[in-house]
Amino acid sequence: MQIKTPFDLDSTDMYLSAYEQPIKNKLLRSNQPISNILSNKLLFCSSYYDEMDISVIEKLIQEERDFVLVTDQKLSNFQNNLIKGNISPKKNYFYEQQNPQAFAAEVLGIKESQERFNEIKRISSGLSIEFLPRRNSNLEIIILDVSASNLKRLLPAFNYNYAADLNYYSTSSANLLFNDEIDLNDLEKLFAPIPRPVDSYSKTNEIFSNNHAIISDTILIEVLRQIGVSKALVNGYSGVLKYTGSGCIDRNIPITQI
């Protein structure tokens, strides 16, 4: 059984998301309230933040390429998941609110390139030398494990420094889907753990939050349990849910390019 969750339906229950009330009515064939939500013992197998980071890490493993980690925390949730997965970045950089352009130039190796040129110019006895900044050609993937506000500062700075062709990933630290600090349209080409394509969110005026999404999916799982569904794959608000009728709910959060 596969259930899709449309965004163009109006909710008739202020406590339910836009898709749950129509689906609930369709499944139960009535307006009968769902009972025992608070006592529901069905739990997700991992936290929402862990699942976002695990999706990024699985993508890195598939890519089989080195990556550089940029973080604004001493030990983030993403870094903990890297340790658990026994995966290490090629190099770590800590962002401490310094100038974004200068920081990006350092990470990309442009600062080092500029310093080498300055040294060559110093010993060249006044010869005219043409110089074009060059970034580290070995860089392919940069993980921006930073808050949404810092992501908004850093991504344009990297693109400005001759690095728009690199692959950039965000993590649970930014929590992009439910963060009103940032407009997703400002993060073009960024890879991020987001449950559905970005343009889907423009079709609803509904206010999202982490709790809203998770509670919404919990209610839908409870519906499936109460009507006796034994197995279902559900495109939920918080990710793709694999319901098997018993045990914890396995949830996958796809990596989406904005």
**pLDDT digit string, tens, across residues 98-111:** 999 999 988 998 76
Report which of residues 225 and 36 the model is more confident about. 225
Q: Does 3 score more than 80 pLDDT?
A: no
For the whole model, what pTM was predicted?
A: 0.75
**pLDDT digit string, tens, across residues 138-160:** 889 999 999 988 999 999 999 88
pLDDT band at residue 168 using 50, 70 and 90 as cut-offs: very high
CA angle, residues 3, 7, 12, in degrees to nearest 5:
95
Q: Does 18 score more than 70 pLDDT?
A: no
Q: What whole-number percentage of the chain has pLDDT above 90?
A: 30
pLDDT band at residue 69 using 50, 70 and 90 as cut-offs: very high
Mean pLDDT on 21-47: 50
Torsion of CA 114, 119, 123, 128, to 10 degrees: 10
Give the range among 56-60, 72-76, 198-202, 241-245 with minimum mean pLDDT: 198-202
**pLDDT digit string, tens, across residues 108-127:** 987 665 655 565 556 566 66
Is the distance from CB of 240 to CB of 195 less than 8 angstroms?
Answer: yes
Q: In whole numbers, what is the pLDDT of the chain averaged over residues?
A: 75
pLDDT band at residue 137 using 50, 70 and 90 as cut-offs: confident
Mean pLDDT on 62-84: 94
Q: What is the pLDDT of residue 223?
A: 80
Is the distance from CB of 155 to CB of 144 less than 8 angstroms?
Answer: yes
Q: What is the pLDDT of residue 68?
A: 96
Secondary-structure percent of the chain, ordered helix, strand, coil, rounded to 5: 40, 15, 45
Sorted by where each starts, the structural domains of the chain and their CATH numbers stand as 2-46+202-257 (no CATH), 65-193 (3.40.50)
Read off the tokens for 165: 């062709």
CA distance 114 to 120: 10
Q: What is the pLDDT of residue 125?
A: 64
**pLDDT digit string, tens, across residues 177-231:** 656 666 777 788 899 998 766 665 554 444 455 666 777 788 788 887 877 778 8
Beta strand 141-145 with 67-71 is: parallel
DSSP assigned state of 192: E
pLDDT band at residue 21 using 50, 70 and 90 as cut-offs: very low
Q: What is the pLDDT of residue 124?
A: 65
Burial label for 224, CB within 10 Å (0-12, 13-18, 19+), is: buried
